[in-house]
Structure 1
Amino acid sequence: MSKKISIITPTFNEEKNIEKLCSEISKEMSKLDYDYEHIIIDNHSNDQTISILKKIAEKDKKVKIIINTRNFGHIRSPIYGMLQATGDACILMNSDFQDPIELIPQYIREWEQGSQIILGQRSSSDENFFMNSFKDFFYKFINKISDVPLMRNTTGSGLFTKNIVDQIRKIDDPYPYFRGLLSEISSQIKLIQFHQPKRSGGETKNNFYTLYDIGVLGIVKHSKLPLRLMTFIGFFTSIISIMIATVFFFYKILFWNSFEVGVAPLVIGLFTIASIQIFLLGFIGEYVMTILTHTRKLPLVVEKERINF
């Protein structure tokens, strides 16, 4: 009996890509001696994506569709799709062709050689220079402060064995940082280099907020350094404040008539301290929000409809 591969594709407003994607994956899998299912989880698209998917599912029973009741975001939906997989291994692929279909046989080959986690890693990209530079800086920064080594320039696309998927299920994190989660589970991660092309069609769903969300999530989930820095900053700021206050006090005592404190130093000092406090409170808020999200135990997604399951 041949092994089964589950391919997971999250979608949101991908009417220009989804039909071609399903066709290309079907062609690629027909070359391989494996049974497969293609699970597409849609984040309540408001274009023609859902109607196109339903037509595809009518013709191809290997295409299984989950339609969410609303847009649950770019983090929760793909992981929920993985947890529905029934295959011996699960492959996560984006729907915009920035994860080349040709990676599928490479993932499977590494899996057959014993790897349990295989990730695609960008060696180069057709994205704009600013975006590439920003991502490169972020990965270097988060690796410096993270408690676990995080894979640089990975998109989340890769192959994960049934055992790894079961481990993710046991962790039961309602809003995980996926790359960090994999590093927590195993240090044995195989990387496959690839060139990342431009999006095939439609508009990218990544914006400043989504990139900020991923960045902060990675920091608060996998690093204690920001909280430790807050303690050190508070301590050293207190020491410096006491030293400055002492100097000003003695100067005023010694040169009572000639030394004027003035308003400007006080205003600058107050604004500096207030800015530091607001910044640190913001970071504490991110940690509190993460704790709240975890303790509420909300589902990853809520389904509206399933097809071909």
Structure 2
Amino acid sequence: MNMVPVRQTISVVTGCFNEVENLPEFYRRIRAVLLEYPEFDYEFIVADNCSTDGSRELLRKMAAADPRFRVILNAANFGHIRSPFNALLHARGDVALYICSDLQEPPELLGRFIQEWKNGAEVVCAVKSASQENPVMFAIRRFYYRLIGYFSDVPQLQDFTGFGLYGRRFLEALRLYHEPYPYFRGLVAEIGFRRVEVPFVQERRK
């Protein structure tokens, strides 16, 4: 008897706080990338941190219109670290793409991540080669994370925000860490697995 092959699933994970004006474009651009890979199923997971601008109402409508669109409505604002970390743990796909919903990180780069994954990479990390944000803030952040790297026992990923791709084995390893405030960038370096780094220019916050 011929067995029908099981289609792999891509999870797209993001956090959200007061992004009502960005969400439609964010969804449209990511879906355009996913439609280039019809061999995969996909799901969206959006964790909302108690938005007050109408984002939650819009997310409910988007979830009602697309059965692959899942929403986590947090009871409180758990911050930009814990909330997306929790959303990653809810990803059911064979691989998870993590991206911020403020459009500073170009959704079109997700296609490059998927190609690297198809070529065998289990983790793909997008690293900022440049940024269109305030140059002073960019320099301060760069210095701060280099300082962390200097004192860390584990080599850190410089100019890495978490934007990237994470295979199922990495996601399962992530479940073994029960830290109240996880330092995700450090965990990516500590957990390991075969990793590819992809440079990108961070856009100005929408």
Amino acid aligned to 2:27? C
Could you give the per-residue CA deviations for residues 288-307 of structure 1, whole angstroms, max 9, x where no partner exists?
xxxxxxxxxxxxxxxxxxxx
Q: 1:151 aligns with which of 149, 154, 157?
A: 157
Q: Matched residues in 2 for 1:54 and 1:171: separation?
A: 31
More helix by share: 1
Amino acid aligned to 1:120? A
What residue in structure 2 maps to residue 254 of structure 1?
Answer: none
Identical pairs, percent: 37
Could you give the per-residue CA deviations for residues 206-236 of structure 1, whole angstroms, max 9, x where no partner exists?
xxxxxxxxxxxxxxxxxxxxxxxxxxxxxxx
Q: 2:24 aligns with which of 19, 24, 37?
A: 19
Q: Does 1:59 align with 2:40?
A: no
More strand by share: 2
Q: Matched residues in 2 for 1:82 and 1:59: separation?
A: 22
Deviation of 1:187 after TM superposition, in Å, equals 6.1
* Runs of 4 or more consecutive aligned structure 1 residues displaced over 4 Å after TM superposition: none
**Secondary structure, counterpart of 1:19 in structure 2:** helix
What residue in structure 2 maps to residue 7 of structure 1?
Answer: 12
For the Cα contact (< 8 Å) 2:104–2:203, is it kept in 1?
yes
Q: Matched residues in 1 for 2:71 and 2:63: separation?
A: 7
**Secondary structure, counterpart of 1:78 in structure 2:** helix
Q: 2:144 aligns with which of 138, 154, 170?
A: 138
Deviation of 1:24 after TM superposition, in Å, equals 1.5
Could you give the per-residue CA deviations for residues 41-99 of structure 1, whole angstroms, max 9, x where no partner exists?
10111110011111111111111111010101111100100000110001101001111
Q: Does 1:161 align with 2:154?
A: no
For the Cα contact (< 8 Å) 2:123–2:193, is it kept in 1?
no
Could you give the per-residue CA deviations for residues 10-61 of structure 1, whole angstroms, max 9, x where no partner exists?
0011111012111221122111131100001101111100111111111111
What residue in structure 2 maps to residue 118 of structure 1?
Answer: 124
For the Cα contact (< 8 Å) 2:170–2:193, is it kept in 1?
no
**Secondary structure, counterpart of 1:102 in structure 2:** helix
What residue in structure 1 maps to residue 109 of structure 2?
Answer: 103
Could you give the per-residue CA deviations for residues 155-181 of structure 1, whole angstroms, max 9, x where no partner exists?
111100111011010122221110111
For the Cα contact (< 8 Å) 2:50–2:76, is it kept in 1?
yes
Alignment of 1:1-309 (within 5 A): 1-33=6-38, 34-186=40-192, 188-200=194-206
Amino acid aligned to 1:72? F
Q: TM-score if structure 1 supplies the norm length?
A: 0.63
Q: Matched residues in 2 for 1:173 and 1:110: separation?
A: 30
Deviation of 1:2 after TM superposition, in Å, equals 2.6
**Secondary structure, counterpart of 2:176 in structure 1:** helix
Amino acid aligned to 2:14? T
Deviation of 1:188 after TM superposition, in Å, equals 3.7
- How many residue pairs were aligned? 200
**Secondary structure, counterpart of 1:37 in structure 2:** strand
**Secondary structure, counterpart of 2:164 in structure 1:** strand
For the Cα contact (< 8 Å) 2:122–2:195, is it kept in 1?
yes
Q: Matched residues in 1 for 2:177 and 2:78: separation?
A: 19
What residue in structure 2 maps to residue 230 of structure 1?
Answer: none
Amino acid aligned to 1:88? D
For the Cα contact (< 8 Å) 2:45–2:70, is it kept in 1?
yes
For the Cα contact (< 8 Å) 1:91–1:158, is it kept in 2?
yes
Deviation of 1:131 after TM superposition, in Å, equals 0.6
**Secondary structure, counterpart of 2:172 in structure 1:** helix
For the Cα contact (< 8 Å) 1:42–1:68, is it kept in 2?
yes
